[in-house]
Amino acid sequence: MLRDAVFTTLLIIVIIALTYLTYSGGLGDLPPQDIRLIAKNYLNLTYNRDAYWLWTASPEAVSAIVWDYRGLDTLFETAVFYGAILAALTVFRGVAKLPDTAGSAGLSLVVKRSTALVTLAILTVATSTALHGHLTPGGGFQGGAIASIAPLLLLVVFGRRFFTDNRITYGKLLTLRNISLSLLGISTLTILLYGLLINASGYIFQNQAKATSPLSYPSHILDVPLGGTIFFLNLFEFLAVTSGFTLVFTILLSSEEILSKEFEGEDHGY
């Protein structure tokens, strides 16, 4: 007990000492007093109407960097996430489509009603996070991660068979995920293909018109900034992440009886 007390006190002293050092300027000015070079470059290149051949049409610099300047990075990250979900689905491929044996009725009516409201709120926040990704902080993956909490709550509160009873099947979720991922790929190629079609030059991942290519996604729609490809990429990433997480949750939350079928050893016929 004394050891615990001494340990905790030491930890707190170290934290306070570090806080004091940071606060009194041990790391230089925090926050920095001048704009650093890298920040200056990004600000010049993301929403700079004067340099129209460089700008990305997205006022949210982080989204612009993630999708427009480091789009290839993000595409590969998405591919890794897709692969991870694919691996999980492959491991449980035998049982993934089976309806759950335990037809639980879920929790009480009060919990169900309040969860229904909260789920609506979660989905609203998630959609707005994803669709405003080019205007405010957020984006496709963030929105998808928030939205995937909703099926989690629904499965726990309304019972394990909620999705099967409401005809949200494994196949439909998988199709949604595959379609949105294909559209994600297609939206990076649209300008290139269109360029080939009308015999003008275009690039993969191109968003706005460049000095060497006149083609561009619309930067505004009905006076609302659209951010070109960034809007579409966020939207499809949102759908892909949400459906991917939902698939994995439905499998992980199914009955022990079903899950253990996949782990039966040689004794049981493998």
Give the footprint of other proteins on this chain (CB under 8 A): 4, 8, 11-12, 15-16, 19, 22-23, 30-31, 62, 129, 137-139, 141-143, 145-146, 148-149, 152, 245, 249, 252-253
Closest distance of CB 106 from other proteins, Å = 17
Closest distance of CB 261 from other proteins, Å = 15
Of 8 and 44, the one with the shorter C-beta distance to other proteins is 8
- What are the Cα distances from residue 125, in Å, to 32, 59, 233, 234? 32, 20, 18, 15
Query: Cβ contacts of residue 158 below 8 Å, gap of 6+?
Result: 106, 112, 115
Of 62 and 183, the one with the shorter C-beta distance to other proteins is 62
Of 4 and 34, the one with the shorter C-beta distance to other proteins is 4
- What are the Cα distances from residue 148, in Å, to 100, 141, 166? 20, 10, 17
Closest distance of CB 14 from other proteins, Å = 9
Closest distance of CB 23 from other proteins, Å = 6
Closest distance of CB 59 from other proteins, Å = 14
Cα separation, 250 vs 174, in Å, equals 12
Of 128 and 169, the one with the shorter C-beta distance to other proteins is 128
DSSP 180-231: HHHHHHHHHHHHHHHHHHHT----TT--S-BTTB-----SEETTEE-TTHHH
Q: What angle do CA 10, 13, 15 make, to 5 degrees?
A: 110
Closest distance of CB 107 from other proteins, Å = 16
Of 151 and 202, the one with the shorter C-beta distance to other proteins is 151
Of 17 and 200, the one with the shorter C-beta distance to other proteins is 17
End-to-end CA distance of the chain: 52
Residue of 251, 245, 113, 114 lying closest to 180 (CA atoms): 245
